[in-house]
Chains A and B, each alone.
Chain A
Amino acid sequence: MSPNRDRGEEEGVVVDLESDAALSALVDGELSEADERALRARIATDPALAHRFARFEALNRALRSDGAGSADFDVDRMSASLASRLANADDDADASLEHAAGPLEESPPDFGAFEPAPATVVEIGRARPALRVALAAAAAIAALWLATLVLGRPGAERGPSMDPSPGLEGGLLAEETRPEVAPIPDPSDLQESPRPKAPGSSEAPAPRPEAVDPARVARRAEAPEPSRPEPGASDAEDELELYAVALDEAVVGDDFDVIDNLEILELMAALEAEDTRG
């Protein structure tokens, strides 16, 4: 025994922990013959050590007797249960191997009639992604349909965000599809200047660079009257009405016959020339 022994205290009795460990090993029969002889000699002469050893032995007896009086295990029943468990384990392993080896589309469902709940869960789980896609597609179609209803037909998009031209208040029409119509003129202005200004322009439009073809002007002058606008209140009213229709219905395109301002100017210039010559 080492002279530097750890010491503990228990129930007022100083316990030599190294001797305690040796006693424990002695109880378990883990000491060598020489060590055992030496320790038993000490126990014989040391009552405290003997008492400690007796308690260790009593504890061992209690541990070994624990459960000794209980009913024996039914090994036959356990053996039958084990055989059943092993058979099930083999079946599961076989099923697992078949499931893994077979093609995916041919593999049968791995749930039985006795387990409807898991089967339902699995089916719902598998169907859920497809259902989500279908719902998303339906929602997208509905949104498109609503957008079409609200904005009108294609080519007549509405909304400020669709209008790249900041000068137009309201921005009802996209610039590339907006009809080139004059703003609503003041009737008094129409008396002096029948030529309305183009929307968004602060100045009168510049003449086109190409020269006016007199023959063409003459042909137009001889054309039937309805297509020739006359500067006056009635023409202004017609133009206003057309413009209002265009604004209200946002109708643009081919079916809206807009009078070309430049052509009016050309016509007026031609008439003035005729008058001058006449």
Chain B
Amino acid sequence: MDETEQRGLDPDAELMLAFAAGDGSAFDALFRRWAAPLGRYLERMVRDRTIAEDLVQEAFVRVHRARDRYEPQAKFSTWLYRIATNLALNELARAHRAQPHLSLEASADDRSEGRPAAAPELAASERRSDDMMDTQRAGERVRDAMNGLPERQRVALWLSAGEGLSYAEVAEVLGATEKSVKALVHRARSALVGKLGSLGEVLGETGEGRAV
């Protein structure tokens, strides 16, 4: 058991405290640890990699600014996801205000048709195995179906199922109770299963057996 565990702090919170004390390398370490996972989460949220990268940086700018006020009351990752989620929701609201005529389905169509920025991703996916392609297709179908969910349900399910956060952590991120998060996740999951009539078949092709 190292000193951090003895103090009951998660390693990220310890890094954040070190950064607040003037250790710039601690901030760099935090960024390198969380930039990619946070980027994937934000890319799911805003459905655009460039915007997701921008939001990751903006989230860390907020972390940088808040170093003097930081108190390790919760996990650093929870705090970081909360900042990122708020930024993403703001971005989605801003995009909706700018182009209210664009539906989420239209965004999904744009993505499936392949925009220039996504071309390398598509080229790479062609080299993957059929199983991987099936998994990707299933993921895209699920993602598109999720776009029709209420925002809080979608975020709660993403954080829980996609990012592996506990209900308590999701509650911290969303500023809700655990009970609410449990209900949000359940409703989102039930709605998705109901919405994707062929989901069982699609996922059944890629699933490695059912845990019964």
Contact = CB atoms under 8 A, between A and B. Distances in A.
Contacts of A79: 28, 31-32, 35
B166 interface: yes
B193 A56 contact: yes
B167 A28 contact: yes
A73 B160 contact: no
Interface string A69-89: 111110100110110011001
A72 B37 CA distance: 10
Given A21-B183, A59-B142, A62-B138, A75 B36 contact: yes
Majority DSSP secondary structure for residues of A touching B: helix
B161 A63 contact: yes
Nearest to A28: B160
Contacts of A82: 31, 57, 60-61
A7 interface: no
A86 B64 contact: yes
B212 A43 contact: yes
B142 A62 contact: yes
Contacts of A65: 135-136, 138-139
Contacts of A126: none
Contact of B35 (A60, A62, A73): A73
A77 to B, nearest CB: 9
Contacts of A44: 212
B190 interface: yes
A67 interface: yes
A55 B44 CA distance: 21
B44 A66 contact: yes
> What bracket does the count of chain A residues touching chain B fall in?
35 or more
B125 to A, nearest CB: 7
A243 interface: no
Contacts of A122: none
Interface of A: 8, 10-11, 15, 17, 20-21, 24-25, 27-28, 30, 43-44, 50-67, 69-73, 75, 78-79, 81-82, 85-86, 89
28 contacts: A20-B190, A21-B186, A24-B185, A24-B186, A28-B160, A28-B185, A30-B167, A54-B210, A57-B210, A57-B211, A59-B189, A61-B203, A61-B207, A62-B135, A62-B138, A63-B158, A64-B161, A65-B138, A66-B139, A67-B139, A70-B40, A71-B121, A73-B40, A73-B53, A78-B39, A78-B57, A85-B61, A89-B65
Closest 3 CB pairs of A and B: A58-B203, A66-B139, A54-B210
